[in-house]
Chains A and B, each alone.
Chain A
Amino acid sequence: MSDTLAVGATGTSTTQAPLLKVDDLTVGFRTDAGTVKAVTDVSFEIRPGEVLAVVGESGSGKSVTALALMRLHPRNTDITGDVVFDGIDLLELTDAQMRSIRGRDIAMIFQDPMTALNPVFTVGEQIAEAIRIHNDVSKKAAWSRAVDLLQLVGVPEPKRRASQHPHEYSGGMRQRAMIAMAISNDPKLLIADEPTTALDVTVQAQVMEVLHDVQEATGSAMMLITHDLGLVAGSADRVQVMYASRLMETGDLDDIFYESANPYTRALLESIPDLEGVKDTLEPIPGNPPSLLNPPAGCAFRPRCFLAAAECAEQVPGLVTVEGHHASRCLRISEMPAPVEVRS
């Protein structure tokens, strides 16, 4: 894992124009009980070839952010802000124009490979279909390419496996097939939404390695959505931490892991189990994430924060630059204790 980290740190040159630039993205769901803001004023960039990890608890808005980028959100959704991909504002496109971008320029890998493949078609057919949606090639050529892609993602005996149905695949193999499908049109941006959450721990590392290899080989950028900081450490160039619909902290991998300037990030890092036995017990973050229907006044993390003070309840803190492109949303950065050494 540790040497893949070094290899992964490519493409972080600040001079390149961003592939994806998101400004003040806000996503609200209209419900009977009122509007739920699942994403609030989120701004970020992804540069070509870069791996951006989006980390947060369930319900923090990370998946909704990804779905909004793809315009795959449900109907009862209000989206404001700008999403500029490769010079095009995605939120301005017609449905047909958006379809031609999905799967070709931006591809997505879903969380649960058990349900993300259609049970009535063979895996090869499904990959071939993904190719044929965007390319005018024969069924035979698409099938050959599907077999190649399966080999590429490490499915053994790809010729035979291509003509099998999803239920004949194990979880790890299915996720490899999903990756094959996602890269079938050589996308510029891969969005991986918790790609290993549904897999056994032993398989997780293999799948991450495959993902990392194809991402590097195709040179595509990747937005890796996860709640697993271990995965982040192994594969991301930059990290942004989300909590209760807002970005809490964003920065390079090392900024977040070694010089975190945000109590929520610190708490997340503290809650990683320590296999080397320095910590005796797990340290969960006390309490629960707030309701997004009625978010607490001030900082959303205040009720669970070890640094909380009276001023935190007064207003939502802004995202403050710490150094370079390391920024944190906290009023009490100056009070933050010195970073502890965190195993990565």
Chain B
Amino acid sequence: MSSEIDTDTHDGSERLGTEVPVFSSGEVEGYSADGAAHYSSSAEVEGLTEAPSSFGRLAWKRFLHHKLALAGAIGLMLIIALFIFGPQLSDYTFDQRNVRDRLLGPSWDHPFGTDEIGRDLFVRTAQGGRYSLRIGLVAALMSTIIGTLLGALAAYFGRWIDIAISQLINIVLIVPALIVLSIFALYFGRDAFRLSIVLALLLWTRIARVVRGVVLSIKEQEYIMAARAAGASHLRIIFRHVLPNVVGPVAVEVTLLLGTVIVLESTLSFLGLGVQPPNASLGTLVAEAKGNIDNDPIRVLTPGFFIVFIVLCVNFLGDGLRDALDPRSKNEKG
């Protein structure tokens, strides 16, 4: 063992003196020209330029080994496909009334039955599901961006920046979300995008607190000091060294948040403050069906099932993402 290494070392030191071009401030271009000429001849090295992406491949492999996460991802894709392509298989549109066909049970023609004014519930569920998913994704994405940046800035720079952001988090946290949402929804209820923004502005604090906590521990790691000693700027350190280490915990939090947003939007819609008729969301579908729950419980359960199913799939997905994105978990599973 030791003799092997010794030989390597000596080879190496000879190499440095002779072959390996050493950087000096004025000769950078000369080096890269040398380097290219020297290495493009070797076919083996070509493959190596792909090596940095191997992390992505490894993560993908780990993800595939996570059964529950895979099931979550597949479930979610199936649901999205159903929501997008399902209505095209149906003869009806989401706001097409047909009073003669009111309150029908499930059949081939109307897989989920019809409502009080004869609208096809399958198409309405698909339309409502798209609406709920879109709000959930947009709001979760925006909360993640706001929360990650503010949380990372607070923890990394500390001092007054941390105090200011932490106080902001506290203020947003004590805002009663449902009341603010209700007021906003009264005015912006028809606009899914604006509703997403309001949701994001209320919910980013959860992400920010998680990120702040993680970054507080990461910034004490020696590799951050090593990066500073290598001359990296603060921005480079935050984006190259700190945030990639935050991805795992944040992935989990984002998926939980996505679930929260979908449930919160359903709550708003259930209260009549969200999407307005004739449009639907999963929440309004439950709300519309609730009056008839004694005679027709299935009509409440179908949109309810989709809410639960989507949230579950997303949470499984987040769990798998966390494991897949942690390079150290490689040896544990596949």
Q: Which of B49-57, B135-143, B273-281 forms contacts with chain A?
A: B49-57
Q: Does B244 contact A (CB under 8 A)?
A: yes
**CB-contact partner of B28 in A136, A147, A214, under 8 A:** A136
B162 to chain A, nearest CB (A): 13
User: Considering the complex, which residues of chain B in the window 227-242 have a beta carbon less than 8 Å from any beta carbon of chain A?
Assistant: 227-233, 236, 240-241
Q: Mark A257-275, 1 if CB is under 8 A from B, else 0.
A: 0000000000000000000
* B32 x A138 contact (CB < 8 A): yes
Secondary structure at chain B's binding surface: helix, strand, loop or mixed? helix
**CB-contact partner of B5 in A99, A154, A185, under 8 A:** A154
Which A-chain residue is minimally distant from B327 (CB atoms)?
Answer: A165
Q: Does B100 contact A (CB under 8 A)?
A: no
**CB-contact partner of B245 in A75, A119, A125, A178, under 8 A:** A119
Q: Does A17 contact B (CB under 8 A)?
A: no
* A121 x B55 contact (CB < 8 A): yes
Q: Mark A120-164, 1 if CB is under 8 A from B, else 0.
A: 111011000111011111111101110111011111100100110
Q: Which of B12-20, B86-94, B120-128, B293-301 forms contacts with chain A?
A: B12-20
Q: Does A103 contact B (CB under 8 A)?
A: yes
Q: Mark A35-77, 1 if CB is under 8 A from B, else 0.
A: 0000000000000000000000000000000000010100100
* A118 x B241 contact (CB < 8 A): yes
User: Considering the complex, which residues of chain A in the window 300-315 have a beta carbon less than 8 Å from any beta carbon of chain B?
Assistant: none
Q: Which residues of chain B come closer than 8 Å to A184, judged between CB atoms?
A: 23
* B232 x A143 contact (CB < 8 A): no
Q: Does B271 contact A (CB under 8 A)?
A: no
* B13 x A122 contact (CB < 8 A): no
* B226 x A108 contact (CB < 8 A): yes
* B36 x A99 contact (CB < 8 A): no
Chain A: residues with Cβ within 8 Å of the partner, total of 68
**B: contact size bracket:** 35 or more
* B231 x A213 contact (CB < 8 A): no
User: Considering the complex, which residues of chain B in the window 101-150 have a beta carbon less than 8 Å from any beta carbon of chain A?
Assistant: none
Known contacts A133-B236, A216-B13; A100 and B231 CB within 8 A of each other: yes
Which B-chain residue is minimally distant from A209 (CB atoms)?
Answer: B9
Q: Which residues of chain B come closer than 8 Å to A70, judged between CB atoms?
A: 229
Which residues in B have some Cβ–Cβ distance to A below 8 Å? 2, 4-6, 8-13, 15-17, 20, 22-25, 28, 31-32, 35-36, 38-39, 44-45, 48-49, 51-52, 54-55, 159, 221-223, 225-233, 236, 240-241, 244-245, 247, 327-328, 330
The 5 closest A-B CB pairs, nearest first, are A163-B51, A103-B231, A103-B230, A154-B8, A152-B12
Which residues in A have some Cβ–Cβ distance to B below 8 Å? 70, 72, 75, 96, 99-104, 107-108, 110-112, 115-122, 124-125, 129-131, 133-141, 143-145, 147-149, 151-156, 159, 162-163, 165, 167, 178, 181, 184-186, 202, 206, 209-210, 213-214, 216-218
Instruction: Please list 14 pairs of residues, one from A and one from B, whose beta carbons are closer than 8 Å in the complex, sorted by A's number.
Output: A99-B231, A110-B226, A122-B51, A130-B230, A131-B23, A137-B28, A147-B48, A152-B12, A156-B5, A162-B48, A167-B328, A184-B23, A186-B22, A210-B12
